[in-house]
Amino acid sequence: MPRNKGVLVTPGRHIARMLRSFVIGAATLSTRAEQKLVTRRTLMDAALGQLSADRGFGSLSLREVAREAGIAPTSFYRHFADLDELGLVLVDEGGVALRQLMRQARKRIARDGSAISTSVETFMEYLGNNANVFRLMLRERTGGSKPFRTAIKAEIDHFVTELADDLRRFAEEQHKPLSDARVVAEAMVTLVFNQGADALDATPKERDELKAKLKTELRMILIGSQMMAKHASIR
């Protein structure tokens, strides 16, 4: 039976002390893990906050990102291997956020109809809340390092695949076949990204005009594909 400085310690009291120590240790680890997540998020926000229409991710330095986040440069490496890894996490996060928003848009479409209008409004909402993430994806998809280009291409491919699936489903539901849903999805995503670049720094009036133009152009792509499918079926 354990003794402590001559005092008899019963097994029950000994177990209670062990459990208390375990709980305190677990709580400390949990607090540290939470703090690490907070610091990691702060670094990501610090990097995003440095981006602008005139400044890309490639011009950032680790020191200035760490300084903006309020940590020592050496502490950066506890969270990311380098700036590229931080940027890749931002790309992944931005892509996931956009796909989640578009999934929510599908529910609104199923309830209210107007697939193109709802999708454009949802995308512009994303753009308003994630402008610098979109800047990052736009610039790095062509001019960044190979890992960046590969990651951004993968995010765009995910988006195209989900959109193509939606287009096929809508075509079946409306009995309006498309000539090639994948090609239509690729054309739509390319158009949306290009218009999104113009919308980033647009005034509210200019953005409204861009939205109206984008909706018209997307409808033209969709109707063109439907007409091609129709002509192909009667040959």
Listed in sequence order, the residues at least 6 apart from 76 whose beta carbon sits closer than 8 Å to its beta carbon are: 43, 62, 65, 66
Domain ranges of the chain: 3-78, 83-233
Can you give the pTM of this predicted structure?
0.77
Q: Are 220 and 228 in contact (CB under 8 A)?
A: no
Mapped onto helix, strand or coil, the DSSP state of residue 79 is: coil
CATH level 3 topology of 3-78: Arc Repressor Mutant, subunit A (1.10.10)
CATH level 3 topology of 83-233: Tetracycline Repressor; domain 2 (1.10.357)
- DSSP codes joined into one string, 159-207: HHHHHHHHHHHHHHHHT---S-HHHHHHHHHHHHHHHHHHHTT--HHHH
Structure tokens of 219? Answer: 């409808």
pLDDT in tens, the chain (235 residues): 455 555 444 555 656 565 565 555 545 556 778 888 889 999 999 999 998 878 888 889 999 999 999 999 999 999 999 999 999 999 998 888 888 888 887 777 766 567 888 888 888 988 888 888 888 888 888 876 788 889 889 989 988 998 899 889 888 888 888 889 999 999 999 999 889 889 988 999 999 999 999 999 999 999 999 999 887 766 5
The conformation of residue 144, written as its DSSP 8-state character, comes to S
